[in-house]
Amino acid sequence: MINLDRSPDRLADVTAEFSRIGIPFERVSGVDAATGAPVVAPPLTAAEVCCFLSHRLCWQIIADGPDRYGAVFEDDVVFSHDAGAMLAGDDWVPQDADVVKLETFFVPVRLGNRQVPVKNGYSATRLVGQHMGTCGYILSKKVARRLLKSTRRLKATVDFVLFSPTEMTTARSTTYQLMPALCAQAQFVSEDRGPSTLIQFAPPPPRNKRVIDRIKAEATRAFAHLRNRSFFATLKVDAVPLRFPLAMQANIDPGPIPA
């Protein structure tokens, strides 16, 4: 779990959140754009670079660790009421999974139409389209090592690298979306906690891509499409639903939840 040293309030909130679902966590001190020398890697902002470097610290722990998978969270995470049972083990993770997105951003997203039941009424389906956000995801040891090698030079934000089909890092990975999601950023479901301090939630300003960059992006998208050819039949959902914490269910309608 990534937390900045200057955010003890967020550490208290997220500690209570993990305690609520009965799961221990390891705190990773985030790289802070507000302290030390400026970090620059155009076209990324300093905050985007520091957010990315913070996630790379987690990837290194997974790559060096003994486990087949590791779960990475940011300190503004809010879990579904039954997330603990899912995070207690990895026996439900699809055998071919490189990445499993646990989060929902409550935006339209394209998924494979084949849902694989995994545990406790949850299912895993291939994530075919773009679904941003890095508040919660599972990463395999193998792909953690690969990502560390391929991101020595930062060229895109961490959520694009993990979850955009225009990025080769995404196209090469077998990525699943958990349905319903296990978590979301607190700003979407709680009035008490604001946007992440790792990087403010705001759409990035438009960046004019060179023609060659646009060609590369489309070629990568085509590669991802061909790699996932067994998942040509896709569906577009309005938003990946979340089983909200019980205390919030009286006030928030999460929308339809798959059986």
User: CA 19, CA 192: separation in Å to the nearest integer?
Assistant: 18
Residue reference for tokens 């790559």 = 63
Instruction: Identify the structural domains of the chain with CATH numbers, from first to last.
Output: 2-201+209-248 (3.90.550)
Q: What is the pTM of this model?
A: 0.82
Q: Can you spell out the DSSP letters for 93-149?
A: S-TT-SEEE-B--SS-EEEES--EEEETTEEEEEB-S-----SEEEEEHHHHHHHHH
- What was the pLDDT predicted at 232? 52
> What's the rounded Cα separation, in Å, for the pair 215 and 94?
33
Predicted pLDDT at 34: 84
Residue 135 has pLDDT above 80, yes or no: yes
Question: What does the pLDDT look like over 86-107, one tens digit per residue?
Answer: 999 999 999 999 999 999 999 9
Burial (Cβ within 10 Å: 0-12, 13-18, ≥19) of residue 212? exposed
Return d(Cα 120, Cα 128) in angstroms, integer.
Answer: 24
Q: Where residue 235 falls among pLDDT bands split at 50, 70, 90?
A: confident
* pLDDT confidence of residue 74: 98
**Among 86-90, 119-123, 204-208, where is mean pLDDT lowest?**
204-208
Q: How far apart are the first and last CA of the chain?
A: 30
The amino acid at 26: E
